[in-house]
Structure 1
C-alpha cells in the first residue's frame, strides 16, 4: 500500500466497568457494560468497515468489551492484546499507532479514557458535521466510539492529520 492510502481508525472506549475489590486492571464490566458492548458491536457492523486489525488493552474490561462487541461483526479481525494501551498517554498512543503495519487499512483500538478521547481530539484536524462538538460535549463516555480517517502511512500519523468522520455513544441512540 502506498503513502496515499486512505485509512480509518475506530477508537473505542471500553463499556461501563464495575468496581469490585480487585485491581483496576482486573475490573470486569458492570451489567450496563455487558448490555452496551453488543450495541457498540452492532454500531461497528453498521459502519461497514472490515477491520484488518484490532488492538485491545489487556485490562479485563477492554477484553470483555471486545469479546461481546466482536460477535456482532460479519468479519472477525485479527486481535492483538497490547499491554501498552493500558494507562497510555497521548504520546504513547500515537507512538503505538505509528508501529502499525502499512498492510493495515482499517484499525479498531479498544482502550481507556482519557486516552481515547485525547487521541480522537488530537488526530482530528477536521470534523464532519457536528461530530467534534458532540464528542467534546459528552466527554467520550464508556462504550463511545470515534471514527477518524487519514491518508498516508501509519508512521506519518500525527496531530491534526485526520478527519473525525463519526462519533457515537450508546446513550445518544
Structure 2
C-alpha cells in the first residue's frame, strides 16, 4: 500500500533587493526570521518531506536551510537551477516524475510560479479559511500543505486538497 502523499509548496523568504545577478540575491534579515518562522509552523503541522526540490537561487537555498532546521527536517535537498525560471508545467513535470513510494515532497521556489501552482492544484475541498487565504496572494514565506490523493504521475489541476496555508513571519 502506498503511503499517503503530501505536497508542501513554499515561496522563498524576503530577499535583499540587489546582487550581481537576481539568482545571487540572498535573504534579508527579515527573510531569515520569516523562513525560520515558517519552519517552526511546519513542525506544528507534523509534516516532514521525504524529498525536497529547491531552486538553485541563493535565496531559495537559504530559505530551505533555515526552514528545514526550524522544522526539524533532515532530508537532503535536490537543488535544481531549472526551478529558478520554471513555470507551473515544469514543476508539475518534476513532481510527476517522483517515485511513487515518496510520501511527502517539499518544493521551494519563486513567484509567480509557486503561487500559481498552489492555486492550480487546489481542488476546492480543503480548509475554507486556508483556501480564502491562498486566493488573496502568495507573499514571501508563504507555505501551503496539500493532501495528494492521486499517484504523483497523475498530479494535475484540481488534484490536491489544501490542508493548510501559512505565511511565515518572524
TM range (shorter): over 0.9
SS in structure 1 at match of 2:123? strand
The whole-number CA distance in structure 2 between the counterparts of 1:46 and 1:80 is 24
- What root-mean-square deviation, in Å, do the aligned CA atoms of Structure 1 and Structure 2 show? 1.5
Hey, what does 1:56 align to over in structure 2? 54
The whole-number CA distance in structure 1 between the counterparts of 2:69 and 2:129 is 30
Hey, what does 1:161 align to over in structure 2? 159
SS in structure 2 at match of 1:81? strand
Task: Give me the TM-score of the superposition, normalised by structure 2.
Answer: 0.93
Which residue, 53, 67, 71 being the options, matches 1:73? 71
* Number of residue-to-residue matches in the alignment: 169
Distance 1:153-1:17 versus aligned 2 partners, 3 A rule: same
Structure 1 runs (4+) deviating above 4 angstroms are: none
Unaligned runs of 5+ in 1: none
Unaligned runs of 5+ in 2: none
The whole-number CA distance in structure 2 between the counterparts of 1:16 and 1:159 is 28
How much has 1:124 moved relative to structure 2?
0.8
Aligned residue runs from structure 1 range 15-164, under 5 A:
15-126=13-124, 127-137=126-136, 139-164=137-162
SS in structure 2 at match of 1:130? helix
Q: Does structure 1 retain, via aligned residues, the 8 Å contact 2:54–2:107? A: yes
> Which segment drifts farther, 17-26 or 6-15?
17-26
Task: Give me the TM-score of the superposition, normalised by structure 1.
Answer: 0.92
The whole-number CA distance in structure 2 between the counterparts of 1:100 and 1:61 is 24
How much has 1:6 moved relative to structure 2?
2.5
How much has 1:151 moved relative to structure 2?
1.3
Distance 1:84-1:21 versus aligned 2 partners, 3 A rule: closer
Deviations 1:48-93 (A, max 9, x none): 1121011110000000111111111333113111122112111111
